[in-house]
Amino acid sequence: MAAPLQSLLPLEDDSDELRITPLGSGQEVGRSCHLLEFKGKKVLLDFGIHPALSGLSALPFSDHIDPASVDLLLVSHFHLDHAGGLPWFLMRTKFRGRCYMTHPTKAIYKWLLADYIKVSNLSSEQMLYSESDLEASLSRINCVNFHEEREVSGIKFWCYHAGHVLGAAMFMIQIAGVKVLYTGDFSRQEDRHLMMAEIPQIKPDILMIESTYGVSIHEPRESRETRFTKTVKEIVTRGGRCLIPVFALGRAQELLLILDEFWQNHPELHDVPIYYASSLAKKCMSVYQTYTHAMNDKIRSQLALENPFQFKHIANLKGMDHFEDVGPCVIMASPGMMQSGLSRELFEMWCTDPNNGVIIAGYCVEGTLAKDILQEPEDITSLSGQKLPLRCTVEYISFSAHTDFEQTSHFVRTVRPPNVVLVHGEMNEMSRLKSALEREYEDQETPLKVFNPKNLHTLSFHFKGEKMAKMMGELVMEKPKEDQIVSGILVKKNFNCHIVSPDELTKYTQLSSSRISQRMSVAYTAGFPLLHYLLACMFADIEVIPPEQYISDQGDRSDKNEPVPTEVLRIIDTITVLHEPPLIVLEWAANPRNDMYADAVLKLVLKAQELDIPSTKVPALPSKHFDQRHFKECLIELLQEMFGEESVPKIFKGENFALTVNGEKAHIDLNTLSVSSDNAKLCRIVETAVTRLKDTLTPISMKSSSES
């Protein structure tokens, strides 16, 4: 099912193969990015950076795709590992598709990435993008509301609340009827300010779901809040500084709500300051106050009385220049994994004092300082390269708003997808989750298919859907009859097919129709009555048009010197025959059927030129009605040639006679052209001969048999 990168060749537009390729976060956490391909469409899901890496190496493996071929980019939320590479992709590649995220995500994306640029200890050469790139990228980003359906190049999509952080979205993508649900990071547990992730009522064909915590089970919310506040109180009570590394937005707001309430209920702590150390503090809070409709009912009901995000016991700290380190305090500082920035600076200042403490409150990626100190090493290396002893306490109390195994299992069981693709998880955790889910469904009649692809390994699925075209306009004014052939133009837009009348093409599409007129001149010196006679023998519908009427119907003639025809015939309302001595001119509207009729008329023109019979000797024009007598004579001659003269009676009365072949008789009714015989084979042969002779002798007509 999985294939390495070299198999990533372009898919045909009508291929039934759907492919998913992780360009990041495949058996790892960080730089989320996934390529979805189906029916010639390409969708990119997230474009983050890896927190433990820097420069181009932190980006997804986007050099293995052509950004110009991507139709749509959907961003699930504002965290750096999902959106951190977006300015680079939008401004420094050939991507020209559409990019969508929710309104809160776009509002926070701007400030969060601006902060990332400032706190990154990288030279301008190592930076992936500049502030001007970030600013310019905003105009390339479109916003979508939750549950609002959009369509881009035939790709339909809509999003659901994902919990996790403000504005986080799960995207349902539909291409040619096949649905893929991408959860991004999500949480099915409601906290103090965010609602839990929604469960879609629509069953997807493929579920792409995060596996960050694998088979782990989260500590109950009340228990971890109690352990968190108890740990903070212990640190400050012993005279220490409590550092809580967090990202500027997301879990920080949850922890601020917890601490502010705890301080309010414990007057003995009022002298201990709490700082929210982020240059984005005020801007972030304004965003949270703006998008309260995306939060849970508890927050919305509190807002009716007071703003819960206007904290009473928490002060904003813009930077170290505004901080006096004189006693116990609590500081929440970014970034959350302490790779650089203020949280790293404070940690290096305080890690040597055993009275101080660090509380890691979120998920930590392998290779980051936050992950390293959880192993309790004896010392750490500072950004300047100096060895520092690690003497402060380190506690891990996860407030990470990712699903645990119970939430993931319940979500999968409720959504009921036939295929599950695990993303955004370390290799071991992802493998354990894959095995657990497979065991859970192994007794099912149709076992759940679970995949955990590595980066650049492609998953291939096949979906064969029905192809249907809907008739529109005048074609459906009357209900079609059984076995009726409906003729129209098949119009395909994205994955919708319609059949419309050629006359209504401009009404239902942006296409315009045009007509190609053919005109052919042939040298002709024979008499025109001969040509008229030959044409009448082949075609029943011939209209004689006065030359004056023909010229009048042409309107303004561009060539005033063009010769005036002496005779004009209209053949089956399709081919116009003009006699302009010494030429015969044929005019018709080009299409395969008319071209065939024109070829037949041309053949008769050449035959008349070859015969060159004087007009006085040309027979009278044949009757437009079927010549029964002539047919009778020809049929007798045909049967005599087929079966011998003795098989056909030389004299018979009426319109019925019998054909005798080897003692077997076939009775022929010339009125109804029906044949009956005890010998089925003889009957079929004679029926075929009668029918074909009738078709041959009947002049071509565009009218139905009832009209003629």
224 burial type by CB count under 10 A (0-12 exposed, 13-18 middle, 19+ buried): middle
Mean pLDDT of 594-607: 94
Amino acid at 60: P
Whether the predicted pLDDT of 518 surpasses 80: yes
Q: Token pair 């399709």 is at which residue?
A: 574
More confident residue, 141 or 656: 141
Amino acid at 631: F
Catalytic residue among 79, 313, 402, 457: 402
- 50 part of the active site: no
pLDDT at 228: 95
HSE toward the beta carbon, residue 272, CA cutoff 13 A: 24
Residue 707: pLDDT band with limits 50, 70, 90? very low
673 burial type by CB count under 10 A (0-12 exposed, 13-18 middle, 19+ buried): middle
Mean pLDDT of 415-442: 94
Are 247 and 334 in contact, with CB atoms under 8 Å apart? yes
What does the angle CA 123 – CA 56 – CA 127 come to, to the nearest 5 degrees? Answer: 25
Whether the predicted pLDDT of 1 surpasses 60: no
pLDDT at 156: 96
Mean pLDDT of 596-622: 91
Sign of the C-alpha dihedral, residues 123, 129, 135, 136?
positive
More confident residue, 264 or 6: 264
Integer Cα distance of 369 and 381 in angstroms = 9
Mean pLDDT of 237-258: 87
Residue 7: pLDDT band with limits 50, 70, 90? very low
Mean pLDDT of 202-213: 96
Element holding 605 (H helix, E strand):
helix 592-611
Residue 672: pLDDT band with limits 50, 70, 90? confident
Instruction: Report the 3 state secondary structure along 228-269.
Output: HHHHHHHHHHCCCEEEEECCCCCHHHHHHHHHHHHHHCCHHH
Integer Cα distance of 632 and 606 in angstroms = 30
Whether the predicted pLDDT of 620 surpasses 60: yes
pLDDT at 8: 52
Mean pLDDT of 301-322: 79
pLDDT at 123: 63
Are 343 and 370 in contact, with CB atoms under 8 Å apart? no
| Strand stretches in 258-385, DSSP E | 274-277, 314-316, 329-333, 357-360, 379-381
Indicate the length of the chain as a whole number: 708
**Per residue in 79-98, pLDDT tens?**
999 999 999 999 999 999 99
Mean pLDDT comparison of 511-515, 627-631, 634-638, highest-scoring range:
634-638
- The torsion angles phi and psi of 329, rounded to 5 degrees, stand at -165, 165
Mean pLDDT of 239-249: 88
218: its two tokens:
């989260």
37: its two tokens:
């391909």
The pTM score is 0.69
Computed over every residue of the chain, the mean pLDDT equals 88
Mean pLDDT comparison of 142-156, 269-283, 337-351, 667-681, highest-scoring range:
142-156
For residue 681, the tally of other CB atoms under 10 A from its CB is 9
**Per residue in 528-546, pLDDT tens?**
999 999 998 888 889 999 9
Whether the predicted pLDDT of 60 surpasses 70: yes
Whether the predicted pLDDT of 559 surpasses 80: no
**Per residue in 212-228, pLDDT tens?**
999 999 888 889 999 99
| Strand stretches in 148-247, DSSP E | 150-152, 155-161, 169-175, 178-182, 206-210, 241-245
Residue 708: pLDDT band with limits 50, 70, 90? very low
Whether the predicted pLDDT of 181 surpasses 90: yes
Whether the predicted pLDDT of 440 surpasses 80: yes
More confident residue, 326 or 705: 326
pLDDT at 13: 65
Mean pLDDT comparison of 259-263, 473-477, 625-629, highest-scoring range:
259-263
Residue 703: pLDDT band with limits 50, 70, 90? low
